[in-house]
Structure 1
Amino acid sequence: MTTQPTAHANPWIALHPGDDVVSLARRVSSAHQSFVDSAGADGVRTVVLDSWQRSRSNGVDPDRSSGVSSLSGSELEQYRSTHPMALIRPVIRKLLVEDAADTGLLVAITDAHGRLLWVEGDTAAKDRAVGINFTEGADWSEDSVGTNAPGTSIALDHCVQIFGAEHFSRTVHDWSCSAAPVHDPVSGRILGAIDITGGPRVAVPEVLSLIRATVAAAESELRFHVLNASPLDRRPPRLEVLGSRPALVRAGERIALSRRHAEILLLLLDHPEGLGAEHIAMLLDEGVLDPVTIRAEVSRLRKILGSDVLGSRPYRLLAAMDSDIGDVRAGLDRGDVRSAVAHYAGPVLPSSDAPGVYRVREELRARVQAALLRSADTDLLRRWTSSVDGREDLSAWTAYLGSLDPRSSLYAQVRARIALLDRELRG
């Protein structure tokens, strides 16, 4: 017989005292099947049902194999070696991992996007977890694999337990997990999550208490590192939008940004006075986007940046932020064309067709081109004409030709290229 949780029971806990594990597992499995078939479900916690609904809205397939691999090998090693969560790994190992051998339990550390940085613990459990790709480098965000403790704890910014069939993906129904987010002690932003994964006993209240105590110790360790940080560690965050891989670099950590988040940050950086949701929507899609959608995106972005960096009413940056665009502009402003070109790694967010981004992209490209033409520097013009922006830039090719010795073989090659471009332009 199953004792139903009282109305005042902690909603973040999966197994309450008095619950019959077998009966609860049967009831939750039936509710999951009902939700998948008809989107209706009785007998599950509201926090789980809400997560299932988000998972379905995000297009997660409950029958798909879980854990999408996103980083591996040297790329993973480099990423996690400079990640802030690496600072607290010794604390987590001492409090959780050292006692996890031969227990059937796994201890996982994620980044702020739900990517698994480290998975340690029982060897047999690690081998089993390979079957669901619960492995280092895999993406276990709620957006990617649906309801799971580390991904959902990050999505909700709260500790949570997920028991068996409460997972949205059926491939994970044999597992249970408890997780809690870890925060930057200064900004309050989420840095990642700590998770314990295993069998049903992982979903009892005592495990969640253990996770929360470990998070408290980890955040205390982070606070110590912040107080003793070098000036280099306290540099402003840096936005990188030149080229096809937008990112935010902070305290040595390179955080990949979605195109939409990169667009919004670029617009806010370009409008220090701030922008309303309606204005951002117009700059992104000429008013077609719903301001409600913008508010939701900014809310997600605030979880990455922290409330001390991104303000509201209007949306604006509250702290200094560097950027690769700023480096190019600074070089142009002081007449250092070589520095500007060295920092110009490619067009601004080349895959974006947002009007506000297009204006920034074209303004920067035109400034760099004009400076190059004035410089008549052979080496810089050679680099520009071999770049994405300069391959069909007839003005730059003409200037390049004018900087060459007419007797050189390169002169003839450049003249031939100009002739070809001229014919193509004439149609």
Structure 2
Amino acid sequence: MDVTRLVAQDARRAAQVLGETRGAALAGERPKVAPRPVIRESWDRTVRGGVDPDHDFRADVLGLDEVERRRQTSRLRHILPVLQEGLLPFADSGQHIVIVADAEGRALWREGSPSGLRRADGQGLGIGGDFREEVVGTNGVGTALVARRPLQVVSAEHVVRTLQSWACTGAPITDPRDGRLLGAVDVSGPLESHHPATLALVGSVAKLAEARLRDLHLSSLERLRAVAAPVLARIGGRAAAVDTDGWTAAVTGMPYTTRLALPKALSPGRRRLPHLGTCQVEPLPGGWLIRTGAEWPAGDDTTRIVLDLAHPRRSTVTASGAVGSWTHELSPRHAELLYLLALHPTGRTAAALAADMFGDPARTVTVRAEMSRVRRYMGAFLEHRPYRFTEGTEVDLLLPDDPLDLLPHSLAPGVVRSRGGALHR
């Protein structure tokens, strides 16, 4: 039976047929019309997981702080414009909503028609909600994450009765760097407004989003290559610059390979890596410099950080280590954070940094999100709990001659105090 076509032709009849199929299957009987294999497999998983098909559900909802933390650390945030441009016009034209969930099935973003959003709110389908199969049964988000392919769940194919007025179309989104599941996008609406072409639309937009992630990855490799080129030119022997997932940006003295196998937790220093043997690992913005077969004299692992805030319109951080140095231009916010950390060598908690940045110690979510971005290129030199520069790292501050020129854009209380304190010395 072509479920989607039957729904488009006669939604009432489709709901009746699917309801009879669901009832027989859950009762352990042989239904007159067999469910689609992907739906039957989902029903089996749902029942084994203990979901009650005939009772309403209200999954635990994430708090706003946790939702924001997940948003800031998820690569899905990079593809929201693609998903919105591709799906919101369709959602707004009917009573549909668009849900973007992470790999754990948690809804992190939700948009759509006002009527669709009100209807979803009435059934607990809001931001932070849990759409895993083991929680809400067969659905467009949770089942797409398990099946790892685009699919539709219509009417009584939802094993939980309260969801059977919905038609849901979901597609998984994977990271092109390593095939890791990032989450899923879903378009849901009333059963009577279902259209068979929705599956092709959602699947195509998910592929466009993955293509955008691929483009972003290639751009990040280009940036890493630009930073690594002068470093590689100064050193002898065999070396490679790779991103944090091992994708190669540049090599010298050795054959080019697309990707190097790296351990899950790589840190600077002498390391033994698969297929390379003993290597010296040094951090680069967005990756690592890996030098193979090199002998380093004892005591040559000292790293020096120079935070240059001497110019009102341009701030940089430079890291110098055993195999060379690199420089990264800082955004105004990151310049503020690194300056505040340099002022407090023993470290600052997230609450203390929030007070320094915003005058409000409660704004820890924003601080943690920004520090997560800083750690993408400074991770080897920063500790957390509390946030501080790593032990043994020498930090030099280059400040302007006129204290009023210190980060003149900044309204952060910690920076403002420094400007005033310098004036009165």
Q: When the two structures are superposed, what TM-score results if normalisation uses the length of structure 2?
A: 0.51
- Calculate percent identity across the aligned residue pairs: 30
Q: 1:222 to 1:69 in 2, by over 3 A?
A: same
Q: Does 1:31 align with 2:40?
A: no
After TM superposition, the structure 1 = structure 2 runs for residues 162-173 of structure 1, keeping only pairs within 5 Å, are: 162-173=153-164
Structure with greater proportional strand content: 2
Selected match of 2:264 from 321, 339, 348: 321
Residue 47 of structure 1 aligns to which amino acid in structure 2? V
Selected match of 1:161 from 124, 131, 152: 152
Q: C-alpha displacement at 1:15, in angstroms?
A: 3.1
Q: 1:39 to 1:60 in 2, by over 3 A?
A: farther
Selected match of 2:85 from 78, 94, 98: 94
Selected match of 2:179 from 179, 183, 188: 188
Q: Does 1:219 align with 2:210?
A: yes
Structure with greater proportional helix content: 1
Q: Please provide the CA RMSD for this pair.
A: 3.3
In structure 2, the residue matched to 1:110 is 101
Residue 264 of structure 2 aligns to which amino acid in structure 1? M
- Would the aligned equivalents of 1:100 and 1:106 in 2 still touch at CA under 8 Å? yes
Measure the CA separation in 1 of the matches of 2:186 and 2:168: 7
- Would the aligned equivalents of 2:7 and 2:194 in 1 still touch at CA under 8 Å? no
Secondary structure (helix, strand or coil) at the match of 2:135 reads helix
Measure the CA separation in 2 of the matches of 1:101 and 1:172: 21
In structure 1, the residue matched to 2:69 is 78
Q: Does 1:124 align with 2:115?
A: yes
Unaligned runs of 5+ in 2: 228-241, 247-257, 270-298, 300-345, 347-425
- Would the aligned equivalents of 2:6 and 2:14 in 1 still touch at CA under 8 Å? no
Unaligned runs of 5+ in 1: 6-12, 238-307, 310-316, 327-333, 335-341, 343-427
Selected match of 2:244 from 231, 235, 244: 235
Q: 1:321 to 1:91 in 2, by over 3 A?
A: same
Residue 116 of structure 1 aligns to which amino acid in structure 2? A
- Would the aligned equivalents of 2:7 and 2:14 in 1 still touch at CA under 8 Å? no
Q: 1:41 to 1:131 in 2, by over 3 A?
A: farther
Secondary structure (helix, strand or coil) at the match of 2:165 reads coil
In structure 2, the residue matched to 1:69 is 60
Measure the CA separation in 1 of the matches of 2:14 and 2:39: 14
- Would the aligned equivalents of 1:60 and 1:145 in 2 still touch at CA under 8 Å? yes
- Would the aligned equivalents of 1:109 and 1:119 in 2 still touch at CA under 8 Å? yes
Measure the CA separation in 2 of the matches of 1:172 and 1:56: 16
Measure the CA separation in 1 of the matches of 2:152 and 2:187: 10
Q: 1:69 to 1:202 in 2, by over 3 A?
A: farther
Q: When the two structures are superposed, what TM-score results if normalisation uses the length of structure 1?
A: 0.51
Q: C-alpha displacement at 1:204, in angstroms?
A: 3.3
Deviations 1:107-163 (A, max 9, x none): 111111211111110111111112221111111011221101111111011110011
Q: Does 1:147 align with 2:138?
A: yes
Q: C-alpha displacement at 1:42, in angstroms?
A: 3.9
Q: 1:88 to 1:67 in 2, by over 3 A?
A: farther
